[in-house]
Amino acid sequence: MSLKAPIQLALALAVIMGGMTQAHDTLTPSATANADDPYLWLEDIHGARPMDWVNAQNTITEKQYASSPEFTHTRDRILEVLDSDARIPYVERRGDYLFNFWQDKAHPRGLWRRTTLEEYRKSEPKWEVLLDIDALNKAEGKRWVFKGSDCLKPDYKRCLLNLSPDGGDAVEVREFDIPSKSFVKDGFVLPAAKTQVGWIDENRIYVGTDFGPGSMTTSSYPRIAKVWARGTPLSAATTVYEGKMTDLAVSASHDRTPGFERDFVNVAHDFFHSDMYQLKDGKLIHLDVPEDAANVDAHREWLLVQLRSAWTVGGVTYPSGALIAMKYDDFIAGKRNFTTLFAPNEHTALSSYAWTRHHLILDVMEDVKSRLDVLTPKDNGSWAREDMPGAPKFSTVSVIDTDPDHSDEYWLSVTGFLSPSSLDRGVLGEGKAELIKHSPAFFDASKFEVSQHFVASKDGTQVPYFEIAPKNIKLDGSNRTLLYGYGGFEISLQPFYSGSIGRAWLERGGVYVIANIRGGGEYGPRWHQAALQANRPRAYEDFSAVASDLIKRGVTSPKHLGAEGGSNGGLLMGNMLTLYPQLFGAIACEVPLLDMKRYVHLSAGTSWIAEYGNPDDPKQWDFIKTFSPYQNVKSDTTYPAVLFYTATSDDRVGPVQARKMAAKMQGMGYKDVWFYENTEGGHGAGADNKQSAHMHALAYEFLWDRLK
């Protein structure tokens, strides 16, 4: 099992653990006294005055962009995609069953369900519904949003369900019994908080949650990991580890693999640095691996370490981005004779890996395109290597599930910009994978073509980008073009199929572009580290270089070029707005960070200091202020039209930065500044498909209108 999974993977931007109780959700005395920022009052997230402002802004924006027949058409076409019964119901194997969570028009909050492989192979499988979230909401008078489950191996009869009250990261945990399809009376229950739980056995769980004052880190994640026994009050749970307030989070986990049962504690100091311990006989054994290892994985007899920085150990230097392996017990005994399973070159990076019972599948990116390798450990300590049988070329091919305890089964997701996604199932050693499910085409891809381009950034670095454009495009600068980017946290943007983008942008004649800028993980740790903290402007230089290249090539022109990004990508958009306004005609800035002076005092902001730096340190503020849009926006400047959208329930980044930026620009007299805030949905800004369709349609309609 990945020792970083309970924290690092759960804290990945798409799936950060929930948190209802936020230390910074309301105004602080120091904030209210700061005369330099007249919009601090908008930081009172649920206050009457800020919400009156939000409602007034929503009314204005909806009237302008969400009241036309074009908007309704776009929203409904997107919703058709999101609600389509022909979508692939992606599954996760748990024992003899395949589990799935499904949302559609009839079940907007979703069905948690399961089926067998035999049924799943059918065009219309029969599903056993375990929990109907809409029915639960009706019975309880709530608006729960399902946030996943953890079921106890090996029989998977008891599960810990995560339910968010508003779609934010906060989750209430409840124990659920699958045979009776009901919540367990007097079972494990935890109120909404930033909670991490995991099974030890049928009567004990590891838990990190809000135990009371001082139990959460300044990043607002669990500081303390405890063991909680069935039938006892939470106050009786015994402490396993207490971290520091300045740590990011602490978690504990139990590996139930038969014959390899182990317990671990992970102390995440920030997003990229952790200490790992094995908990054995009440004692903590520190795993002497680099703190900044991207992943540390104990699987059966093996220990795998994925490196962010070069590591010299045992007389050998292993490069940044490498994946290395050795026997776990040998490592604990002091040996350091690792084998290199993957080493990157100038064009490659390890995207991910997955264990089956006897093999290891590597997902490798080569210039942001996928290939899969199969590695097999041999008795003599060597590893055999071969290509994954039947893996298509020039697509994003990823292993989405395996059955490492029992078989060499694997499930592959295959997707591309113009190729509807498919789901394959195979068993290593038994020939080519079987096509199980295939998504329908939601738009006519025959009219378009995909190309990959490279452009030199300001410092000469070659930056790739994907372009999806009509065939025989006229390079006369007249094409409405939407440029999307992220550039942070080692997150890679690979080819993917989107019926929503196809319908809402491409079918109308637009060009869609994805920029693989630094700060992401497209070329491994080096690509990410090149845009950390003081080097963050490299990401913005890269994005502006792509924009300039699109203009230079005649694909578009500034008045027809739009940009879109969310979260860290929202910070990217804020910097395009303030640093490169001359390149764009319109910008959609979604659930963004913008006030980098105060971001560590807002929601979960302190958890990102390793990425951006600490603005409370004057020396670090000297470089942070160069990419803080809220401080850099000026009066009497020509800015492109901008839409800020966010969610009241976003307890990760929070809605206040978008609020303040919109209010500040409007206060400076800028007219083409628009704001919309959904109440539910958390950092994803949509609690169900209808809300998501509304938000996406709003952005696309705004961009299409302003780029005409």
- What positions carry a catalytic annotation? 567, 683
Say if strands 419-427 and 448-456 run parallel, antiparallel, or are unpaired: unpaired
Residue burial 450-487, b: 16+ Cβ < 10 Å; e: rest: beeeebebeeebebbbbbbbeeebeeebebbbbbbbbb
Q: Which residues pair with 416 in a beta bridge?
A: 419
Tell me, letter by letter, the H, E, C secondary structure of 359-390: CEEEEEEECCEEEEEEEEECCCCCEEEEECCC
Check if the beta carbon of residue 697 is closer than 8 Å to that of residue 74.
Answer: yes
Helix, coil or strand: residue 594: coil
Task: Report residue 240 as tokens.
Answer: 């396993």
What is the gyration radius of the CA atoms in the chain, in angstroms?
25
Q: What DSSP string describes 7-18?
A: IIITTSTTSPPP
Residue burial 595-630, b: 16+ Cβ < 10 Å; e: rest: bbbbbbbbbbbbbbbbbbbbbeeeebbebbebbbbb
Query: Cα 454 vs. chain centroid, distance in angstroms?
Result: 26
Cα separation, 253 vs 241, whole angstroms: 12
Q: Given strand 111-115, what is the order of strands in its sheet? A: 92-94, 97-102, 111-115, 128-132
Cα separation, 369 vs 352, whole angstroms: 13
The 10 Å Cβ neighbour count of residue 540 is 27
Q: Is 551 exposed, middle or buried (0-12, 13-18, 19+ CB in 10 A)?
A: middle
Helix, coil or strand: residue 625: helix
H helices present in 399-536, as ranges:
499-501, 525-529
Task: Report residue 590 as tokens.
Answer: 């979604």
Place of tokens 């703190």: 291
Q: Where do the DSSP E strands lie in 79-127? A: 92-94, 97-102, 111-115
Strand (E) or helix (H) holding 275: strand 273-280
Q: What DSSP string describes 470-492?
A: ETT---SS---EEEE----TT--
